[in-house]
Structure 1
Amino acid sequence: MRQLQLRSRSLKRLLSIGRRSRAEEAACEESTSPPLHENKTLVVDPALINDSNPPQKPTWRCFSYEEIRTATNGFHQDNLVGRGGYAEVYRGVMQNGEVIAVKRLTQAATDEQKEKDFLTELGTIGHVRHPNVSCLLGCCVDRELYLIFEFSSRGSVSSNLHDENSAPMAWKLRFEIAVGTARGLQYLHKGCQRRIIHRDIKTSNVLLTSNFVPQISDFGLARWLPKEWTHRAVAPIEGTFGCLAPEYFTHGIVDEKTDVFAFGVFLLELISGRKPVDGSHKSLLSWAKPYLSDGIVEALVDPRLGGGGGYDVEQLKRLTFVAALCIRASATWRPSMTEVRKFIVSQ
């Protein structure tokens, strides 16, 4: 079985080895791979974490290629549930019945860049644990690079919100999605060992569990922000048109307020049922801002919800108030996600 050649020193260091339970040892058996010896599993090397607080031991593990190949029926096209610019996502079922999502990195300029992208995402989400953030189960570095997550059976917020063949998403669920996503973002900004800037908050990157709990996913563009830094500059500019904060789009400046801006667009999409950019290339922001400025918030509501009986007026006022704050042109004048959450859930 051909092994992926791990050239990156950082990747080899990250995939340092340590013992686990017998079941996990068997799953991680790699008899021909020097970086991953048999009867071992993945443990993050603390030397890679530059933080004053020692990191908690990660709970994810190494999956063998045979495990994920079998689970996805050989990566059959019927199990392909998502495809982006850099990865494909497959649904899989483990032998114990656990349903997983397997993310396969597919595109990069070089193998080294692919390894760097893999390391960035793995290093970002490896210690993340929150009900409103997708849970990493493990990874696989056999043949190609894979990340394995819990499977979100309800799909994305976007697919549910814009499904013309189903009944419109109820207002109650829209509001609960707003609250849960705000909590997840607040955790990424304030509750992690190091601040995480997602950089691509949008409805297609928030998944729904079987109980319709929203979970922030796809950390391919996410970046750490050290405690002593107020912001960082990144290049190239990546993300989703219609959701990019002005300072990021024009200067590549990234901090928590980058995500706050995108969350404002996220709220407007939930409220209105409109996409960030429609088929005529008109942005949601340019359409919504006049209504927000004039205080005509009822005009923003998805017409499929009907009249005032289809939504809670007080909740609408809270969400539109928060959205208006989040999409301010100046990052300084936008609220933090802690403030956002308090505004939304205040009684």
Structure 2
Amino acid sequence: MEKKDNSCSPTGFLEDFFKSEEFERNHSCKEHNIDSTNEQNSKQGSRRWRGFGQLFTSKSKKSLVNFHSLGSLRLSLKSSSMRENVAVAPVFLADGNSFNRRCSRKVFALSELRIATKNFSTENLVGKGGYAEVYKGRLHNGQLVAIKRLTKATPDEIIGDFLSELGIMAHVNHPNAVKLIGYGIEGGMHLVLELSPSGSLASLLYGSKEVLTWGIRFKIALGTAEGLRYLHEGCKRRIIHRDIKAANILLTKDFDPQICDFGLAKWLPEQWTHHKVSKFEGTFGYLAPEYLMHGIVDEKTDVFAFGVLLLELVTGRRALDFSLQSLVLWAKPLLKKNDIRELIDPALGQDYSVRQVNLVLLVASMCIHQTSIRRP
């Protein structure tokens, strides 16, 4: 019988690669211990986020993670766009000798994903963007998951985006970042993620009748800052998320925030000060001026978006409302006057800590500075 040639099919190429001996030999990952003793090993990295913790709380909760060196993906990719997406990213494939545990992430068959999502039914569709759809699902063991299916793009671009996001997420392990459970390549590119039961910050802040208390909002601010600090300096290779927003902050049952959706994330090598991108991607209302004008991407891109997120938490307003008014432009004059009464969400009434609100607004005003070098 003639052997089927998968080389012309992007999906077939991936299926052959994932089944290869090289993949089986190298597909391993390390369970990273989040331990405060690692902090001493991170002093050579950026210290931008430490000041945030000092402003927010006197008790240090910080911990950094140091990664072993990761291998680089070297595949013969068909298109330049695919090479661009993957070239900078160390992938989930690494030298097995560098890691002390087998990766627990599972490869899912299409039949499993269909059963989990009731054949990707619209009732299970919980999110939809320009390049992907996210479905709520339940695995055979009862675990609730979110299944991200990459949809819109050429086959090569979908594979490039899939490898890039998978390569980043497979090495992210932090309480304030969403957990990757597994992936599937049969019938399309799928990422299987841990489902956050409380939904997103956006859904609770803008789509719920119940008011988020100030205590929960402050907890979300702290946790998101910890998650971003981990991405920027806890990882051996810096990760720039590029799409920090209320919709991409998921909440656990205890309202601990988890940064999700690494579809636009980029690795930033140590010797690079920034990326310069030509393809415009992101969410209006959160985009830093230097990115809008010059396509410059670095840690300050995320810092600006984090500042907008802090303003959302305090004011209860959207980053860009239905009349297309910018929250940043609305808030800046009030921040200069330190007009807390006008800035605070009316739904909170008087039930908030004046000291904590002042600290959050101070950090927000620093983060949304027009000039990136003036941001923390």
TM bucket by the smaller chain? 0.7 to 0.9
2:282 is the counterpart of 1:269: no
CA separation in 1, counterparts of 2:124 and 2:159?
25
In the alignment, what sits opposite 1:249? 292
Corresponding position of 1:317? 358
CA distance in 2, matches of 1:55, 1:85: 36
Q: Is the 8 A contact 2:15 2:185 kept in 1?
A: no
Q: Which structure has more RCO (C-alpha within 8 Å, separation ≥ 6)? A: 2
1:187 partnered with 2:230: yes
User: What amino acid does structure 2 have at the position aligned with 1:98?
Assistant: Q
Going from structure 1 to structure 2, the CA distance change for 1:55 and 1:271 (only over 3 Å counts) comes to farther
TM-score for the superposition, normalised by structure 1: 0.82
Q: Which residue of 1 aligns with 2:125?
A: 80
Which sections of structure 1, spanning at least 5 residues, go unmatched?
Answer: 21-44, 336-347
Q: Is the Cα contact below 8 Å between 1:124 and 1:219 reproduced in 2? A: yes
**TM-score, with length taken from structure 2:** 0.76
1:131 maps to a residue whose letter is: P
Q: Distance in 2 between matches of 1:279 and 1:60?
A: 40
Displacement after TM superposition at 1:14 (Å): 10
What amino acid sits opposite 1:155 in the alignment?
A: G
- Pairing 1:185-224 to 2, within 5 Å after superposition: 185-224=228-267
How far did residue 5 of structure 1 move?
Answer: 3.9
1:125 to 156, 166, 169: 169
Residue 178 of structure 2 is aligned to residue 134 of structure 1: yes
Supply the AA of the counterpart residue of 2:117. Answer: T
Structure 2 partner of 1:17: 24
From the superposition, tell whether residues 169 and 14 of structure 1 become closer, same or farther in structure 2 (CA, over 3 Å): farther
Q: How does 1:1-347 map to 2 (within 5 A)?
A: 5-6=10-11, 12=17, 16-18=23-25, 46-48=71-73, 49=90, 54=98, 58-108=103-153, 110-163=154-207, 165-306=208-349, 309-335=350-376
Distance 1:19 1:283 in 2: 47
Contact 2:132 2:150 in 1 (8 A): yes
Gaps of 5+ in 2: 1-5, 28-69, 74-89
C-alpha root-mean-square deviation of aligned residues, in Å?
A: 2.6
| TM superposition shift of 1:120 | 1.0
Deviation at 1:235, TM superposition (A): 2.1
Cα contact 1:8–1:115 (8 A) shared by 2: no
Instruction: Report the identity percentage.
Output: 48
Kept in 2, the 8 Å contact 1:46–1:54? The answer is: no
CA distance in 2, matches of 1:133, 1:11: 31
Q: Report Cα offsets for 1:36-95 as digits up to 9, x if no partner.
A: xxxxxxxxx834239999567644221111111111111111111111111111111111
Distance 1:126 1:72 in 2: 23
- Tell whether the 8 Å contact from 1:265 to 1:327 is kept in structure 2 after alignment: yes
